[in-house]
């Protein structure tokens, strides 16, 4: 890994994101606007900010997965190569269960709870990559499965809980758009840019919880409280935030 020099403000910032730590893993509540890795903006990504936790040898925690730049929420890192390999295998074998919260519009999906089984394929336009719904027998088709349920709703918007069964790029964003309830603020896939007279400045998608096998044994669940902008948007449209997502928590088991 290349050496990284961080300012005292950057070190304090990334340390403030920590929601769980033990000998093997470090979990953070990533804010919106921070790239996980490889961002084009000339600021340090989360991957680079992890240098704040580097060992004397210079080895720093490694990201076990990534979130889109404008998606907030829990992100898991491994503090050693064995832990990284273990978590990587768990991700590949789909033993990691992810729970997201999203604000969608207009109103609740119909039905209010269900599953979306729509294959996706990648499409490039210039430097940008998109995912599109396609026929399951398309040459480039990737199977994609999402469960959803509505937590709160009115005619304008809804707060939904999303559980991806597969991990395709932009899967939740494309699936919700495909059923006519794109994620608010997601300009790429048709999301509303204004709700209740309030501008939506980023996609309202939050990685709320991860449940995963732990390198030391057993299973862990880590939760991350909603970002302030999502809480404020829900207040603007008059929707209640479930209490469990208002305070950060990290469970040591299930």
**DSSP-assigned states of every residue in 210-228:** EEEE-TTSSEEEEE-PPPH
Ramachandran area for residue 190 (φ above 0: left; ψ -120 to 50: alpha; else beta): left
Q: Which member of 68, 70, 186, 229 is catalytic?
A: 68
| Backbone torsions φ then ψ of 145, nearest 5 degrees | -135, 130
Using the CB atoms, write b or e for 188-206: b if 16+ within 10 Å: bbebbeebeeeebebbbbb
In sequence order, what are the residues at sequence separation of 6 or more whose Cβ sits closer than 8 angstroms to the Cβ of residue 91? 64, 65, 167
70 an active-site residue? no
- Which residues carry out catalysis? 68
């Amino acid at each position: 890994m290349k050496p990284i020099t961080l300012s005292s403000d950057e070190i304090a910032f990334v340390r403030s994101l920590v929601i769980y730590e033990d000998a093997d893993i470090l979990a953070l509540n990533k804010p919106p606007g921070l790239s996980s890795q490889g961002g084009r903006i000339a600021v340090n990504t989360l991957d680079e900010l992890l240098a704040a936790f580097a060992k004397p040898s210079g080895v720093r925690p490694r990201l076990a997965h990534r979130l889109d730049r404008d998606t907030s929420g829990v992100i898991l890192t491994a503090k050693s190569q064995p832990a990284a390999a273990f978590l990587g295998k768990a991700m590949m074998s789909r033993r990691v269960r992810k729970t997201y919260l999203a604000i969608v519009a207009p109103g609740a999906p119909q039905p209010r709870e269900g599953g979306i089984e729509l294959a996706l394929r990648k499409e490039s336009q210039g430097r940008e990559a998109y995912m599109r719904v396609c026929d399951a027998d398309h040459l480039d088709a990737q199977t994609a499965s999402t469960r959803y349920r509505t937590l709160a709703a009115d005619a304008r918007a809804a707060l939904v809980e999303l559980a991806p069964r597969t991990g395709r790029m932009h899967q939740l964003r494309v699936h919700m758009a495909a059923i006519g309830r794109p994620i608010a603020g997601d300009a790429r896939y048709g999301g509303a840019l204004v709700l209740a007279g309030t501008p939506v400045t980023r996609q309202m998608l939050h990685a709320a919880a991860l449940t995963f096998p732990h390198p030391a044994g057993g299973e862990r669940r880590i939760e991350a409280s909603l970002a302030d902008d999502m809480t404020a948007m829900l207040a603007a449209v008059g929707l209640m935030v479930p209490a469990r997502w208002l305070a950060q928590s990290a469970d040591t088991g299930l």
